[in-house]
Amino acid sequence: MSLNTTSVKRQNHRVHPCSLKQKRPLLKSLLEKYKESTIFIVRTDDSEELDDIANENVTVISDKEIADSSELQCDVLISYNLPENAEDYMVRLSCPKQEALILLDTDEQKQLHAIERVIGRSLIQEIVSGFEPAKTLSEQKRDLKSKRYNDTKSKSSKPYRDNEYKKPYSKPVNSSTSTQKRKPRTINVKSLKPSP
């Protein structure tokens, strides 16, 4: 299988954004949803962190194990974390027959972008109800700026339209050529004399 092809259809290749603390509960929720399918949970290392989840339908596997065996197949592939190298993720995509899911925390956005470049398209991001990711500080600042912009924008009474608010052209009036003459200013000379 070449690096830029996959057997998983676009609508079945999804990203589930969540916070790092929510990954394991979200994983359990997805395992319950796909309990009738054969599932691979892929992680980047050989740690035993998720081994307690494995059962007859669920296999916890590392990228190294997938690379060593090209014959591995499953119905659903869940990427618990993303590899640093996008090509390693493409090797993962040789396994699933039906769906490929990514549990994405905010620290993995850079890896996701690299994967999307290799695949040649953006992946569908679907937030699972109850597992909404917490906003990062930069996202909170961006939302605040957007809110301020929208508040100032909504204060204007009417939107500008081409034909509205245009006055017909009139020649500017020069104050020196005005038809009215100014009255000369009178000065009281008595008030200018110095007092003894």
Alpha-helical (H) ranges within the chain are 23-33, 63-68, 86-92, 109-119, 137-155
Which domains are assigned to the chain?
A: 10-133 (3.40.50.300)
Mean pLDDT score across all residues of the chain: 78
Mean pLDDT in residue range 41-60: 84
Dig out the tokens for 148 from the structure.
């301020």
Q: How confident is the model at residue 40 (pLDDT cuts 50, 70, 90)?
A: very high
Instruction: Convert the pLDDT of each residue in 137-150 to its tens digit.
Output: 556 567 777 777 77
91 vs 180: which has the higher pLDDT: 91
Residue 42 CA: distances (Å) to CA of 6, 92, 162: 17, 8, 58
Reduced to 3 states (helix: H, G, I; strand: E, B; else coil), residue 44 is coil
The CA-based angle 119-124-129, given to 5 degrees, is 150
pTM: 0.65
Q: How confident is the model at residue 1 (pLDDT cuts 50, 70, 90)?
A: very low
The confidence score (pLDDT) of residue 45 equals: 81
Dig out the tokens for 8 from the structure.
């998983």
48 vs 85: which has the higher pLDDT: 85
Instruction: Convert the pLDDT of each residue in 51-94 to its tens digit.
Output: 888 888 899 998 888 888 878 899 999 999 999 889 988 988 88
Find out whether 156 and 45 touch, Cβ atoms under 8 Å: no
Report which secondary-structure segment, H or E, holds 125. Answer: strand 124-125
The confidence score (pLDDT) of residue 4 equals: 41
Find out whether 17 and 133 touch, Cβ atoms under 8 Å: yes
